Amino acid sequence: MSIFLDCEKEGHILRVTLNRPDRRNALSTPICERLLALPAEIEADIDIRCVIITGAGTAFCAGADLKERKELDEAARWRYVELVDRALLDIEKFPVPVIAAVNGHALGGGTELALGCDFRLAVKDADFGLTETGIGIIPTGSIVRLLRDGHDALNSLLTYTAARFSAARMADMGFLHQVVGTHRELEDLARALADRIAQNAPLALRAAKKVKQMLAADRTGDALHRAETVRRSLDSTADCLEGLTAFAEKRPPVFIGK
Ligand code: COA
């Protein structure tokens, strides 16, 4: 167990809880490092047949830690960005089905975290959004995966507006499997789905997931790498620094295109 990410095994289900509610479960370095270690740990434990990812408090995940990022120099900031990107992309490397139980705000990397899961369930009060262009960067992993998976309309709406959308709207647009009214119902629904999955043969579940991963890798090709190169040019722009400063100062950013 590591600080900010709780992992609890219940029968054949691994329950992973982002537990940093005072920062709305923003992706700190320790959270990312712990997430990155999980695929190998699950691979080695055939007893685990399904994973549920959820958040503590009012947020599922508020994305990258904008405060941590603001304090870093350029080289350290890029290392942090790469760490977050890798942690979010590697959610797809979990060797068993993963259920996102979205209990609240899922913004920026929070929406991407849900996107990397096999099932997306949400409480009706949850909201979603790719807010990155609003702080001067782009949601590289989400763009590539949304386009890869045929969600062009969703990508345009989320990426270019950087706005926040309700769970009901996200369900209408095909992003969510199911929306429920309360946190209790969300927990029960995720648990029932996980229990149903866990009745099945462990090797078959892992084989089915591997086939999905192979096809996803074929369709992604080197697009991620090329998108990262595009993204990298943004990280030290005046607009990106302004986006981070404006967030810390709780005011709207003033962008100048530099
Ligand atoms: N990184 C770092 N700190 C964050 C954070 C993030 N992504 N999201 C929230 N926090 C911090 C806030 O700065 C605040 O800190 P403070 O108490 O020291 O002021 C604390 O968490 C609570 O956030 P607050 O905005 O007061 O809570 P809220 O419940 O009113 O709103 C959100 C929650 C998630 C809607 C709002 O915090 C938000 O919009 N966060 C940014 C999300 C985002 O755009 N992420 C994408 C990054 S690329």
Q: What pTM was estimated for this model as a whole?
A: 0.96
Dihedral (Cα; 36, 105, 103, 159), 10-degree rounding: -70
Q: Which of 20, 24, 234 has most ligand 1 atoms within 8 Å of its beta carbon, as the pocket-test mutant?
A: 24
Would the CB of 107 count as within 6 Å of ligand 1? yes
Residues forming the active site: 112, 132
| Closest by Cα among 181, 158, 98, 170 to 127 | 170
Per-residue DSSP letter, 250: T
> Is there a contact between 4 and 28 (Cβ–Cβ < 8 Å)?
yes
Cα–Cα distance measured from residue 123 to residue 181, given in angstroms and rounded to the nearest whole number: 6
List the pLDDT tens digit at each of the 258 positions of the chain.
457 999 999 999 999 999 999 999 999 999 999 999 999 999 999 999 999 999 999 999 999 999 888 888 888 888 998 999 999 999 999 999 999 999 999 999 999 999 999 999 999 999 999 999 999 999 999 999 999 999 999 999 999 999 999 999 999 999 999 999 999 999 999 999 999 999 999 999 999 999 999 999 888 889 988 998 899 889 889 999 999 999 999 999 999 999
Nearest atom of ligand 1 to the alpha carbon of 137: 48
- Ligand 1 contact via 59 beta carbon (within 6 Å): yes
Please tell me the residue having the least CA distance from ligand 1 atom 22. Answer: 23
Closest ligand 1 atom to Cα of 67: 2
- The answer to whether the CB of 158 is under 6 A from ligand 1 is no
Q: H or E segment at 64?
A: none
For ligand 1, say whether the CB of 23 is within 6 Å of any of its atoms.
yes
Question: What does the alpha-carbon distance between residue 57 and residue 103 come to, in Å, rounded to a whole number?
Answer: 8
Distance CA 64, CA 109 (A): 6
